[in-house]
Structure 1
């Protein structure tokens, strides 16, 4: 049994933290500060904070470890053997990386050095990869660049979203981190350096990334919708209101002007730069997600409209 400090924020970290808590002593949990959320913008704890509170763990929420010497001192006073980091969201400075005798281990949701950065799951979906995976590294001051301790691959299915793929990677990562930590503490792993010439990087996702450009090919738009599910979602505009696309599928046997809504098999599809995107589920702003046929029953004027921000009045084809 080792004495651990856990660092993480989103639900992706929870399977790993659950697995480690079964075998090791948890000295404390570090997570992001509560963030405003919902219509009232009330401070909302991270999933990791809620998990730690339910188990009575000591919790720290510094806004920065590089600019908060008191938080670093408190961490050092805990005397952890290992720090385990999963999607924490803060940079660990040198004095933190050097604190535990067995170092800081990070679980990253890609096959490093591919997709270093904050959104590797979305990046794999956006690029149409056939597989991705999880990697455990020993952390260094360069983000996601430390030597590799273990790696496992995971297939990407045609209907995967960031949510479904993320759930599988979280479970796989939990198993991998638990076994890797055992072997690391036993001195059974020789770290393997990453090849920096093979490194690729993915940027942070913003809400604006979810807006659909109907001039792009249908296959690419479908990837973007799946990559941005559940957040920020793939969305467009109709009649000046936001319209979220819950599920869709590309069809290359049909064509229509980009953004134009056409009837397809008692449903609807939207023209793109190449092919059309057949809509399966949509959600109009302020309403619930509906199958496309149910949506058309209530909005028959949707057919023939042109979608997008440049058509706020819901322009129709002549």
Structure 2
């Protein structure tokens, strides 16, 4: 399915041009911000630096992290605490006391970015101007939990962010603004994540200016063009070498930095961080067999074409460029992924 076409950075079909740039807003908005991971940090920082008033931050409860499994606040919570902003961390938003707490903040607007909790209609109705979501795809393509990774894995050549008016469905609300960017052959989920997070923050404030001035022109999504970005599963990270090299390369980059693509080597998982697909075919080579190696990378036969591994990691070690990895070993002739794979 092709990516929904976008003709410009701020599509005229989605919002009219900003005409009062530099003029004071009638009144700063009272905003509740809901987000949890790194992706949500740039937009929160942009709001904090704006004329608007972030009256509270909602984020996921602290979770165990690291080898010591110590309870750790989310990146969004850390930013909020650094700026003395009230933090709320309910497990769910449906209980009435939780919703009354939200009403007590008297929000004009709720801005949501990768929060991780479903907002029921009763919550969506609380802010005077509703709820806006920053979503990391060009809706209606890639609704759901993993839009960045799915866009990479499926070979999309373009992605972007969509600001939408939230509705009760999963990423089904009317679109307010879109910003598009290309996906390059070197992009990973991490690099694309960082770029889209910055784009979302940059688009948010002009969108709020248009909202205050009643210049937004919401556009309904075409549900017939929707695709769903299923949450990632660790089982997907195990590579099937019978697939074409171009597909394997996209998966390696999509699963970087999590869950990280892997294969088997000497009975242990070998993690693959970066790669490149090559044209050509090694006649008679079983998929998964290392057919050539050198400073540029480790070439593996696939179901169609050659996959060059350029960064990989052994258990207990750190990621290494292929040249450094080969300093102490050779993989030539090894059938990666086979239970008996060994030097």
Q: TM-score, normalised by structure 2?
A: 0.88
CA shift, 1:69, in A, is 2.5
Residue-pair matches, total: 312
Aligned to 2:161: 134
What is the DSSP-based 3-state SS (H/G/I as helix, E as strand, rest coil) of the residue aligned with 1:223?
helix
Q: Does 1:263 align with 2:263?
A: no
What is the DSSP-based 3-state SS (H/G/I as helix, E as strand, rest coil) of the residue aligned with 1:216?
coil
Contact 1:13–1:48, Cα closer than 8 Å, also in 2: yes
The answer for unaligned runs of 5 or more in structure 2 is: 1-27
- State which of 296, 300, 315 in structure 2 corresponds to 1:285: 315
Aligned to 1:36: 64
Q: Which sits farther off after the overlay, 112-121 or 249-258?
A: 249-258
User: Aligned partners of 1:37 and 1:276: how far apart in 2?
Assistant: 38
Q: Does 1:113 align with 2:140?
A: yes
Q: Does 1:7 align with 2:34?
A: yes
Contact 1:102–1:185, Cα closer than 8 Å, also in 2: no
- State which of 39, 55, 72 in structure 1 corresponds to 2:83: 55
- State which of 71, 74, 78 in structure 1 corresponds to 2:105: 78
What is the DSSP-based 3-state SS (H/G/I as helix, E as strand, rest coil) of the residue aligned with 2:100?
helix
What is the DSSP-based 3-state SS (H/G/I as helix, E as strand, rest coil) of the residue aligned with 1:245?
strand
Aligned to 1:230: 257
The answer for unaligned runs of 5 or more in structure 1 is: none
User: Aligned partners of 1:80 and 1:242: how far apart in 2?
Assistant: 49
Contact 2:238–2:263, Cα closer than 8 Å, also in 1: yes
Aligned to 1:16: 43
Q: Which sits farther off after the overlay, 81-90 or 253-262?
A: 253-262
CA shift, 1:109, in A, is 0.8
Q: Does 1:214 align with 2:278?
A: no
CA shift, 1:272, in A, is 1.1
- State which of 220, 233, 249 in structure 2 corresponds to 1:193: 220
Report runs of 4+ in structure 1 exceeding 3 Å deviation: 264-267
If asked which structure has higher relative contact order (CA below 8 Å, sep 6+), I would say: 2
CA shift, 1:203, in A, is 0.3
Contact 2:29–2:108, Cα closer than 8 Å, also in 1: yes
Contact 1:224–1:234, Cα closer than 8 Å, also in 2: yes
User: Aligned partners of 1:214 and 1:40: how far apart in 2?
Assistant: 36
User: Aligned partners of 2:244 and 2:309: how far apart in 1?
Assistant: 15
Aligned to 2:54: 26
- State which of 249, 269, 294 in structure 1 corresponds to 2:276: 249
User: Aligned partners of 1:263 and 1:196: how far apart in 2?
Assistant: 47
User: Aligned partners of 1:242 and 1:71: how far apart in 2?
Assistant: 44
What is the DSSP-based 3-state SS (H/G/I as helix, E as strand, rest coil) of the residue aligned with 2:298?
strand
User: Aligned partners of 1:100 and 1:268: how far apart in 2?
Assistant: 55
